[in-house]
Every structure is written in C-alpha cells, then in structure tokens.
C-alpha cells in the first residue's frame, strides 16, 4: 500500500498539470472543454477512488500471485519481451472487463461514474469507481498465469498500462494518421464516451484498438455525427459517491417491485438497462431516447460558491496527500477514519454544489466527525498541535460557509419557488 501511495503521489500532480495545460490550450483556441462544477466533480471522483484504494476497500477473490504459483506451465524470466507480453495480456484483459462492464446490468454500476460527465476532457478520465469492492475479473489473468508471467512484472506494468489511458480523454487532438489503425486515440475514445446511437457501446479497447476490430465492436468517429457525451440516464448531480451507486439502487428497486421471482433473479445479469415488463410503465425512469434530447445538468453555481468549491477541493487534496505520506505510520483504524472523513467531506461539498438542502446536515456531521477524530486520536493524525488547530479552523470555517451558502443559495431558491 505504501508503494501504491508513493506512485500516486507522483502521478497525481502530472495529471493535474496536463489538465491545466488542456484548459489553457482550449482557452487559446477559443474552445470550451471544461465546466467548473463538472471538473470539480471529476477531480473529486478521482479523490474518492484513491481513498477507496488507500483504505483497502477492495477484495480480490484470487490474487495473481496465487494463480501464477499454482497454474504456471512455464517459468518465464523478467526479460524485456516478458514485460511486453504482460502489457499485451493486461490490454486483452482490459478489453473484456471493459466490455462486460458495459453489457451486464450489475457490472455497469462499476463503470457508470466514468461515463457520467457530460463533458469530455482530461479531468473526466479521473472519474473512477468506489463501488467496485470485489475484483470479479480475476479469471482474465489466467492466460498470463498459465504462461508464467512473473508477479513482479505484472505489478510493474499494471500502473503503467492504467495511467496510459489518461491522455486520450480530450477533444483537442484530432485524427492521428497511421496510429488510428493501431492505438486507441482521442477520436476512438470520443466515440466510446458518446451516447449517439451510432456510437453506443463501441471502442472498448484500452491501448490497442485491434481488439475492437477483431471482436466487431469498432466504430470510427463520423464527421456528420458530433459525439454527445454522458449517459442515457443522466446523473443529475455533482456528487461522485451518489453517482457510483445510482444504477445499483435502480436495479434494487426494480427487483423489489417486480412480481416475478425469475425477474428478481435475472435482472442483475441481463443486458444493461433491461427492466422487468411489469415495472416499466408503473415506475418509469427518465432517459434520453436520442442524443439530441440531452440537456446538460447545471446547478447554476454563483461565483462565490464556485470559488468556495474549488477551495474545498484544494483543501481536501492537501489532506489526502497528508494521508498518503503518513500511511506507513498510521494504524488501519486511523487510515479508515481519515479516509472516511475525506469521503464525507467530498459528499458534503458536492451536495452543496448541487444546492441541496441536505448539504448543511452533512456539513454538520463532518464537523462533529472531525472534532471526534481529533479528540479520540489526540490530534489530527500526526500533524501536531499547530496542524490540529488548523484542521479545527478549517472545520469551523467550512461549517460557517456552508450555512451562508445554504441561506443565500438554497433556502432563498426554495422560497422563490414557493412564492
């Protein structure tokens, strides 16, 4: 875990710098690719995914180390060609896990957060899940385990393969010539993120586009069909934690309401979006029948609330970095408590971005949680007296600002509607 935290500590600033560069280039070109609230939501989603990993909230049914130890037919060396083989193997595994996440109802819940942005930019690449608690695709590692690809090789290649998928989430790069036939490019991935009928459920490849061409899921970007980004069923919130569980909550409701026991059982593994016939009319769910119907979600943040939301994101990023640097000195309970506080904080400030009346109770809960943590652990997780008082000051200011924005932007809006 300490090694993973160290890798992230170096990778995250690189991502943020590239996001900033994309924003500056877009402004120079006179193109808008970022929406403030959407970008904050995307970065907050990346934070929650990192926290989930740091807190150890993922269960692997069978580890690769166990599989290679028990299944390997060969004893491959850690040579250059074996690293290349591991990269191709991970990409093959990535194609099928990605495809099944789109095609199977329950598994879509693992991936919906990544598609929830109605923009397409580098920040939306950081929309990663917190809902995938169990690693269900362990069997896709069996081919590499049979070949005897060493565990240390896979451990080294896996983050490289994952981080290599960041750069192509952009609208600023057009076609890339001969590379279009080999690699996943921004053009290919714009198709993948689009909800146009022509583009839906296409281009699942992660690095090599050859898998889509081989398995019949490739679609070229068409000049006459501009991609419309997002999901058929709009999220309607900036809260990344809510988005992570919206789809499974919908499945649970349908499984409860349907009278058919067969439908209660099979709904989880039917094609994504399938619903029992007896609940379709009685419990309709709004969705876009065509891409042209899309109306982008906008909670109309005032400039002060937008600035405050950026401030919350920044403060919570600093605290997350403190957790990453201190993770080797903290107990498991302390890591859980620290990570839980940051999860609650993200939930609270993104709820305020939605201008929802529950934002104040959530902020109050965060205030109490933070003070309780300082009391129970005799300070803020190794920050010392001065650092702990700074956290107390943050908690007070955060609660006061939330109260101000709720009074000026939430309650006032409700009162206007009632009038």
Please list, in sequence order, all residues whose beta carbon lies within 8 angstroms of the beta carbon of residue 223, skipping any fewer than 6 positions away.
Answer: none
The whole-angstrom separation of Cα 124 and Cα 238 is 12
- In angstroms, the Cα distances linking 147 to 25, 136, 211 are 45, 21, 20
For the chain, give the longest Cα–Cα distance.
Answer: 75
The whole-angstrom separation of Cα 399 and Cα 42 is 23
Which three-class secondary structure string do you get for 354-385?
CCCCCHHHHHHHHHHHHHHHHHHCCCCCCCHH
| Phi, psi dihedral angles at 391 (to 5 degrees) | -65, -40
Q: How are the residues of the chain apportioned to helix, strand and coil, as percentages rounded to the nearest 5? A: 65, 0, 35
Output Rg (C-alpha) for the chain, integer angstroms. 23
| Local confidence pLDDT in tens for the 419 residues of the chain | 566 677 788 889 999 999 999 999 999 999 999 999 999 999 999 999 999 999 988 888 889 999 999 999 999 999 999 999 999 999 999 999 999 999 999 999 999 999 999 999 999 999 999 998 888 999 999 999 999 999 999 999 999 999 999 999 999 999 999 999 999 999 999 999 999 999 999 999 999 999 999 999 999 999 999 999 999 999 999 999 999 999 999 999 999 999 999 999 999 999 999 999 999 989 999 999 999 999 999 999 999 999 999 999 999 999 999 999 999 899 999 999 999 999 999 999 999 999 999 999 999 999 999 999 999 999 999 999 999 999 999 999 999 999 999 999 988 665 544 44
Predicted structure pTM score: 0.94
Spell out the domain ranges in the chain: 2-215, 303-418
Please list, in sequence order, all residues whose beta carbon lies within 8 angstroms of the beta carbon of residue 28, skipping any fewer than 6 positions away.
Answer: none
- Cβ(379)–Cβ(385) below 8 Å: yes
Stated as kind and residue range, the H or E segment containing 416 is: helix 412-418
């Amino acid at each position: 875990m300490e090694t993973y935290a160290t890798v992230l500590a170096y990778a995250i600033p690189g991502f943020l710098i590239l996001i900033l560069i994309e924003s500056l280039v877009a402004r120079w070109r006179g193109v808008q690719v970022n929406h403030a609230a959407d970008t904050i939501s995307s970065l907050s989603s990346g934070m929650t995914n990192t926290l989930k990993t740091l807190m150890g909230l993922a269960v692997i049914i069978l580890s690769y180390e166990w599989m290679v130890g028990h299944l390997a037919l060969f004893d491959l060396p850690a040579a250059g060609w074996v690293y290349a083989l591991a990269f191709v193997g991970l990409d093959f595994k990535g194609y099928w896990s990605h495809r099944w996440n789109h095609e199977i109802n329950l598994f879509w819940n693992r991936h919906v957060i990544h598609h929830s942005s109605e923009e397409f930019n580098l920040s939306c690449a950081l929309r990663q899940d917190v809902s995938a608690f169990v690693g269900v695709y362990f069997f896709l590692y069996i081919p590499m385990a049979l070949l005897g690809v060493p565990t240390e090789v896979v451990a080294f290649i896996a983050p490289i393969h994952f981080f290599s998928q960041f750069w192509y989430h952009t609208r600023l790069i057009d076609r890339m010539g001969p590379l279009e036939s080999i690699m996943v490019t921004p053009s290919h991935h714009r198709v993948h993120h689009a909800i146009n009928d022509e583009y839906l459920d296409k281009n699942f490849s992660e690095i090599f586009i050859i898998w889509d061409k081989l398995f019949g899921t490739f679609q070229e970007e068409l000049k006459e069909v501009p991609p419309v980004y997002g999901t058929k069923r709009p999220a309607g919130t900036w809260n990344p934690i809510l988005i992570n569980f919206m789809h499974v909550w919908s499945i649970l409701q349908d499984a409860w309401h349907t009278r058919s026991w067969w439908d209660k059982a099979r709904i989880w593994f039917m094609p994504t979006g399938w619903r029992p016939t007896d609940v379709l009319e009685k419990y309709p769910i709004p969705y876009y029948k065509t891409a042209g119907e899309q109306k982008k979600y906008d909670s109309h943040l005032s400039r002060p609330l937008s600035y405050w939301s950026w401030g919350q994101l920044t403060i919570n990023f600093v605290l997350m970095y403190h957790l990453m640097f201190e993770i080797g000195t903290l107990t498991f309970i302390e890591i859980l408590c620290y990570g839980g506080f940051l999860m609650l904080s993200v939930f609270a400030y993104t709820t305020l971005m939605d201008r929802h009346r529950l934002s104040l109770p959530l902020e109050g809960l965060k205030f109490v949680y933070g003070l309780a943590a300082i009391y129970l652990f005799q300070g803020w997780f190794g920050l010392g007296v001065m650092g702990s008082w700074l956290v107390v000051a943050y908690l007070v200011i955060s609660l006061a600002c939330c109260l101000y924005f709720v009074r000026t932007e939430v309650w006032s809006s409700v009162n206007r509607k009632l009038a």
